[in-house]
Amino acid sequence: MNDSGSISASSVPRSLRWEDEEGGELYILDQTKLPGEVVEERQDSAEQVWESIRQLKVRGAPAIGIAGAYGLVIGLKPLVDLDLREFLTQAERIAAYLNSSRPTAVNLSWALNRMLAFARSNAEKAGTSAVLYKLLVGEAKLIHAEDRAICRGIGESGEVLLNEGCGVLTHCNAGALATSELGTATAPMYLAFSHGKRFRVYADETRPLLQGARLTSWELKRAGLDVTLICDDMAAYVMSKGLVNLCIVGCDRVAANGDTANKIGTLGVAILAKHFSIPFYVACPSSTFDFATATGADIHIEERSAEEVTSFGARETAPKEIKVMNPAFDVTPHELISGFITEKGIVRPDYRKNLERAFR
């Protein structure tokens, strides 16, 4: 916290960083190494950025959108001597390639489409690929800067939900590490905390990759919040003890009817919240609403490798050749969601009508 009592950028970790020297360099905080090692890795090619997104070195819907935008720029950096038409063709190719790294979070395609639309509409004005490259760097930086402001807006919208002394449960990591700065689900927590409210956060560990244990509990503890780590299968117990007054989670894609894809296990939390009459909120930027997807049934759920489930860290925890399912996300039906905390305020049902009115 800074002297004015507000959360400053130094209170939270930085998931990725752009440096302007040498035509621009992208650094990502390698989240696969957290919390043991805090290591940044320079990204030298679109292929490296693709791998970093795929391996979850950079992860979380808004952060992979930002990484995708910078990744496109990194891929175009050696191509500035091409003529403009060829440069644009290469931009389309690299964007499609980066978009194939992870399918569920709509923010990735949203950011890449925005970059491509910007490239097309500014090509003539730029005159050369080298000038267009510089303009594209500016657009990627703008996406990054806008996300910071959006996270703060989500925090301002959601802060009111946190009452003094309450307990809030979150799942996975929709924190600073998943975005540019304050996170989505965590933004109301960071702001409420910086304004003097005291409350307890319960972080689900989030098997199989432990984003709650490795990332959420790390970043909240680092900022001074009261955070308690629980295994995913303890959420019902903690709720039954009356310790949770509110759930806030992030999301990767919201369909037009409000059905919401988020980290596997979110659906279970929402069902439990309903059982215990606990409000269940989803926090997200407007870029996560996908009006082209009618319902949750149309959302492509990423299936990840079996090894993530059959081992715990370096240790094998399942028999060889066991059959495994490993969906990375699930879909929470809109009727289980009390509201969407967005940079434009909290949107409540009827979602089909109210989301369209607010964001389309």
Binding site residue list for substrate: 59-61, 102, 211, 262-263
- 265 touching ligand MRU, by CB under 6 A: no
Q: Where are the alpha helices (DSSP H) in the chain?
A: 46-54, 61-76, 84-99, 106-126, 129-158, 187-194, 217-222, 235-240, 266-275, 307-310, 351-359
- 179 touching ligand MRU, by CB under 6 A: yes
Rama region for 265: left / alpha / beta (φ>0; ψ in -120 to 50; rest): left
Residue 61-90 contact track with ligand MRU, rule CB under 6 A, x = bound:
xx----------------------------
- 250 touching ligand MRU, by CB under 6 A: yes
Tell me whether residue 157 or residue 262 sits nearer to ligand MRU (CB atom).
262
- 334 touching ligand MRU, by CB under 6 A: no
| Shortest Å distance, C-beta 96 to ligand MRU | 20
Tell me whether residue 77 or residue 304 sits nearer to ligand MRU (CB atom).
304
* Catalytic status, residue 252: yes
Report yes or no: 148 and 180 within 8 Å, Cβ to Cβ.
Answer: yes
> What SS3 string covers 138-195?
HHHHHHHHHHHHHHHHHHHHHHHHCCCCCEEEECCCCCHHHCCCCCCCCHHHHHHHHC
Tell me whether residue 263 or residue 334 sits nearer to ligand MRU (CB atom).
263
| Shortest Å distance, C-beta 185 to ligand MRU | 7
Catalytic pick among 147, 204, 232, 252 = 252
**What are the beta bridge partners of residue 203?**
170, 229
Measured on CA atoms in the order 292, 295, 298, 302, is the torsion positive or negative?
Answer: positive
Q: Segment 218-247, which members bind ligand MRU (CB under 6 A)?
A: none
Tell me whether residue 326 or residue 354 sits nearer to ligand MRU (CB atom).
326
Stretch that binds ligand MRU, among 156-164, 220-228, 249-257, 267-275 (CB under 6 A): 249-257
CA distances from 48 to 14, 16, 42, 53, 116 (A): 19, 14, 9, 9, 20
CA dist., res. 212 & res. 205, Å (int)? 4
- 184 touching ligand MRU, by CB under 6 A: yes
Site of interaction with ligand MRU (CB under 6 A): 56, 59-62, 105, 172, 174, 178-179, 183-184, 211, 250-252, 262-263, 328
Tell me the catalytic residues: 252
